[in-house]
Structure 1
Amino acid sequence: MSTPPDLLRIESSIEGRSPCITLHGELDHRTAPVLEEHVRRALDTAHPHLVFDVRLLVFCDSAGLSVLIGAYRRATRHGGTVVLRGLHPSLQRVLRLTGVEALFTIHPTRESDEVLDALGGHGEPA
């Protein structure tokens, strides 16, 4: 099954030493498997920290939330963290209501890069 390209656009990059996945559009049951593959590839690197830039994410259902939680589990197994950057109030509310908000480091801006640099890329103060 292919994902219609207009539903979700995913851009992967490296910011500092951390993989960054930028999401544009809708993260739902149709697009979650595509994101899951990007997460797997990003966390296959030697750096266990992951940044999601979600400023342009307009919708996230339970399947999308499941991918984010899976990314958290995989990153923390290797001593990493997951940063959600640019979180909209509606997505933050979903995270709070489902009880998973505390799993993620949440930043409204590119401040997440500075936080990861301060961690020395290893989850502990430099």
Structure 2
Amino acid sequence: MTDRILTVTSQAGPSGASVVNVIGELDLHTAPDLSRVIEATPFGPGEPVVIDLSRLAYCDSTGITVLINAYRRAEAAEARLFLAGLSDDLTRVFRIIGLDQVFAIQPSVEQALDALKG
């Protein structure tokens, strides 16, 4: 049994965007929670998705795999996908493994939603 906690919620944002809020620790034990919410979130050309990671305390390779799967789903559906609010540590990991070149990353949800307008 794990004492790690992850809370994932999804809400409709402006411009038809879905905002997925991720709070807590994203690891082997909690990654299925995020996967379930992402699978239930609509992706499409007029249905962009923003994943808010600003309150993510920890992310291991399993969590990164879930985010990569979300990217693949967005690509297949021709949907725009943004990651928002990455910590300095997670940003550094993304740079090391090259994911900063793959994902559209914004400092905040608000900036991601603004980028959708342009």
What is the TM-score of this pair, normalised by structure 2?
Answer: 0.88
Question: What is the letter of the counterpart of residue 32 of structure 2?
Answer: P
Gaps of 5+ in 1: 119-126
Question: What is the letter of the counterpart of residue 77 of structure 2?
Answer: H
CA positional deviation for 1:43: 3.0
Q: How many percent of aligned residue pairs carry the same amino acid? A: 33
CA positional deviation for 1:80: 1.5
Residue by residue over 1:75-121, the C-alpha shift from the partner in whole angstroms, topping out at 9 and shown as x without a partner, is: 01111122111111101111111221212111112111111133xxx
What is the TM-score of this pair, normalised by structure 1?
Answer: 0.83
CA positional deviation for 1:47: 4.1
RMSD of aligned C-alpha atoms? 2.0
Corresponding residue pairs, total:
116
Gaps of 5+ in 2: none
CA positional deviation for 1:44: 5.4
Question: What is the letter of the counterpart of residue 111 of structure 1?
Answer: Q
Q: 2:8 aligns with which of 7, 10, 20?
A: 10
Partner of 1:107: 106
Higher helix share: 2
Distance 1:81 1:45 in 2: 8
Report SS of the residue matched to 1:55.
strand
